[in-house]
């Protein structure tokens, strides 16, 4: 006779404690879980940096105050190549998880390319100007530190390399994957402009948990996608950009 009430109590206890162990509320770019509310969405406070951080990304890169640091570009070397891709709609963007030997050297440190993804419109601004899209290449060093290469995208010629992904249908639904073999995938070494100046600054992830200590490398030369390619992406994601954050006392370098 005692078994039943005890079981009920146990179930009640488990239910009562569930919220403590549940994951953070799903963040988004609009409504109640928009960027202004990110810091409060995780009960454990793991997203606090989104509000309290002073070295956050993205930022509006001012043209006038950029400090010119010569030889900085000589310390940047990108070695990307054709690699198999797992393209996924993760609910926030279209992200291509990359395998293979794609590395980047910056200031004597080696990073490995983990994934790339897109935002529309751009997250960074150049002298107050926003672009239709922005591409982020997320690279990680063996000590865990992150370097994100960013390229702004304007409307122009069809991008024949990225067409390899676009033509395979951008995964429309959250959780949907498209696999691209090495032969089907774009040559990752041919997407970024071969010659470009860059902006360098220390910032953060632009999505929760907004972790700081991220090295940013921004290409000044723009990538181009055709109007059709841009609208194809925007039919899946539009408005997946975090607003610009305060620069505060940060130095922005330019080569
Ligand atoms: Zn991003």
Domain-by-domain residue ranges, the chain?
28-248
Q: What is the pTM of this model?
A: 0.89
Q: Is the dihedral of CA 137, 126, 213, 29 positive or negative?
A: negative
Ligand 1 centroid distance, CA of 84 (Å): 20
* Residue whose tokens read 């994601």: 237
What does the pLDDT average to over 128-136? 98
What does the pLDDT average to over 106-121? 97
Ligand 1 centroid distance, CA of 119 (Å): 6
Q: Which of 32, 37, 68, 92 is flagged as catalytic?
A: 92
Alpha helix stretches (DSSP H) within 46-117: 49-52
Known catalytic residue at 92? yes
Q: Is the pLDDT of residue 18 over 90?
A: no
Contacts of 108 (CB under 8 A, 6+ apart): 75
The pLDDT of residue 64 is 73
pLDDT tens across 63-87, in order?
Answer: 776 666 665 566 899 999 999 999 9
State the chain's mean pLDDT as an integer: 89
Ligand 1 centroid distance, CA of 137 (Å): 8
CATH topology of domain 28-248: Carbonic Anhydrase II (3.10.200)
């Amino acid at each position: 006779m005692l078994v039943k009430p005890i079981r009920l109590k146990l179930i009640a206890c488990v239910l009562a404690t569930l919220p403590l162990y549940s994951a953070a509320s799903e963040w988004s770019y609009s409504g109640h879980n928009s960027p202004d509310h990110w810091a409060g969405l995780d009960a454990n406070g793991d997203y606090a940096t989104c509000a309290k951080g002073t070295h956050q990304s993205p930022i509006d890169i001012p043209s006038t105050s950029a400090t010119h640091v010569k030889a900085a570009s000589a310390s940047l070397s990108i070695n990307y190549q054709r690699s198999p891709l797992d393209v996924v709609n993760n609910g926030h963007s279209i992200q291509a998880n990359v395998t293979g030997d794609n590395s980047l050297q910056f200031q004597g440190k080696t990073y490995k390319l983990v994934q790339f993804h897109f935002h529309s419109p751009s997250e960074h601004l150049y002298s107050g100007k926003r672009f239709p899209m922005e591409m982020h290449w997320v690279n990680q060093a063996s000590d865990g530190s992150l370097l994100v290469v960013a390229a702004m995208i304007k409307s122009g010629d069809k991008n024949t390399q990225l067409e390899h992904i676009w033509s395979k249908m951008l995964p429309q639904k959250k959780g949907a994957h498209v696999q691209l073999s090495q032969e089907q995938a774009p040559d990752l070494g041919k997407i970024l402009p071969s010659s470009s100046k860059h902006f360098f600054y220390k910032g953060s992830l632009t999505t929760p948990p907004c972790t700081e200590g991220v090295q940013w490398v921004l290409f000044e030369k723009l990538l181009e996608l055709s109007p059709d390619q841009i609208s194809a992406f925007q039919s899946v994601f539009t408005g997946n950009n975090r607003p610009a954050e305060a620069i505060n006392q940060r130095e922005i370098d330019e080569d």
